[in-house]
A and B are shown apart, each in its own frame.
Chain A
Amino acid sequence: MPKRLLTDLELMILLAVLRAGDHAYVVPVARDIEDTTGRVVTRAAIYTALERLESRDLVSSRLGEPTAERGGKAKRYFALTRAGLASVRATQRAFTAMWRGVPELKGQA
């Protein structure tokens, strides 16, 4: 079990990065979170969270090529590290364990 579980935003971001696969940069990650959960997220907040996760070695990043449609700015692609994947699994296990034994939530997905 890791020392610290992920926050809800961190967990959503990491799951969205996983879902985006090789093309995980902030635009598809933010859209995925907004479309799936309905939560409006600031792009800068995603960068801040990802930088924090990178400092904890849960995420790695690389710069792509600058493109004209982005005004000549490069994309920053993100990918989960092995520790990041383990952290997501640990958080999922912790939440699932908390879910069990609550009669009010029985049968609800």
Chain B
Amino acid sequence: MPRFPLWVLTTFGCGRDVDTLIGDLTEEYRAGRSAIWLWRQTLRGVASTVTAEVCAHPLLMLQAAAVGALVYVLLLRIGWSLYGTIEHFRLIRSAYTFTLFALVGWGVAHFCRPRHKAAIVVCACPLFVRGTGVFVWQTVCAIASLATACSSMHSRPAARCFHFTVPRWPVLFTGVLVARAFRQRARDGHFISSSST
């Protein structure tokens, strides 16, 4: 049974019936459905449940988008002043990006409880659209950190720090690997020119 699509559904799917939906998909996959079918159901499932939440609480989602944009711009401005120092340290830069998106995710999640998953996805969409292509490594970091923000809301406050730093490191590491693959594009100046706008 592929775990990744079910993880995506558990992390980003909203509503009362996510667990039963995962059970249904597991049952059908074991009865002979293909992995493509499972992925299609998963992605449409996330889209469908998030859309339902957004339609049910449009004002809250607008507020979430405003909070997300505000935190993002504030932290980006602070980080921009430090950028000259960390420009040549890819790992630190990736960690900074991860922290940036995680803080955006946390800010939005805490503001929009208990609808935090839909709110985080709503805030993430424009960031992903902005990041895809030029900042693929940033996008991967963003997905990892926003997923962390989604998951951390399930744990107790005392355990959140551990939950944030330890189990998601493999995901962050993947982000760093992708960052290395795209380092040439970053060196060409795409990062600097687009971040400053």
Contacts and interface: CB of A to CB of B under 8 A. Distances in A.
Nearest to A42: B44
Contacts of A48: 15, 48-49, 52
Interface string A8-41: 0000000000000000011100000000000000
Scoring A44, A67, A75, A76 by chain B CB atoms within 10 A of each residue's CB, the highest score goes to A44
Interface of A: 25-27, 42-45, 47-48, 51, 63, 66-67, 69-76
Interface residues of B, number: 24
B45 A42 contact: yes
B45 A44 contact: yes
Contacts of A43: 21, 24-25, 28, 41, 45
B48 A70 contact: no
Interface of B: 1, 6, 13, 15-17, 19-28, 30, 41, 44-46, 48-49, 52
A72 B26 CA distance: 10
B48 A74 contact: no
A44 B41 contact: yes
B27 A70 contact: yes
A27 B41 contact: no
B7 to A, nearest CB: 12
B44 A70 contact: no
Given A42-B44, A73-B19, A26 B49 contact: no
